[in-house]
Structure 1
């Protein structure tokens, strides 16, 4: 039997899982996941998306700029309220997908952090 390793994304975190092939008619052995399972580093960067439809009032960072977790990256106006879009982790701005004044929909990419 052979095992294959996959990367699964769940709630924005990447996990490494191993799946073992079993022959038809055999009972797979029971395994339990270790308690210390940790997410795998997201090597492709983290996409910051719009949490709701609105208008980008301002983009406060530039491509290539280093950012810290919690730093405000952009301001999104939605339902007549200004919403701060913050960095979920330390990193560097890899790309910016929006411009000031642009309308965005729920889930639209705002920027990427590597």
Structure 2
């Protein structure tokens, strides 16, 4: 086993590495003592992408942004995968699609509307 000092985001850690094969010589720049945190850093969970379709047929905004186009109207039949509207977020246009077949029973937004993550955009019955 070899011990190494590694710095991650400004915090220094001492790690042990097992040799499995040929080892190359590594130069170290400093032999200064290492400040070790009281415990190892916790893993940061990945943010899960919000679902566009939720139970009950409501299509919700997956992220905050501005509605740049509404492609459907109340009473219109839609198929799974059909584009319902365009949501502009972070200077990118995101197509918000239907995840089920059905009929549009409500459109809760219009062109130019600012929405927050989780806001109901369209209801499909």
Q: 1:101 to 1:12 in 2, by over 3 A?
A: closer
Q: Give the superposition deviation at 1:102.
A: 0.4
Q: What is the TM-score when the length of structure 1 is the normalising length?
A: 0.62
Are residues 49 and 12 of structure 1, via their aligned partners in 2, closer, same or farther at CA, if it must alter by over 3 Å?
A: closer
Ranges of 4+ aligned residues in structure 1 off by more than 3 Å: none
Secondary structure of 1:107's aligned partner: coil
Does residue 97 of structure 2 align to residue 86 of structure 1?
Answer: yes
Q: Give the TM-score taking structure 2 as reference length.
A: 0.56
Equivalent residue, structure 1, for 2:73: 62
Partner SS for 2:109: coil
Report how many residues are paired. Answer: 73
Q: 1:72 and 2:80 equivalent?
A: no
Greater fraction strand: 1
Q: CA deviation at 1:74?
A: 0.2
State the partner residue of 1:95: 106
Q: Compute the RMSD of aligned alpha carbons.
A: 1.4
Gaps of 5+ in 1: 1-10, 14-44
Say yes or no: does 1:111 pair with 2:122.
yes
Q: Distance in 2 between matches of 1:12 and 1:66?
A: 18
Instruction: Give the structure with higher Rg (CA).
Output: 2
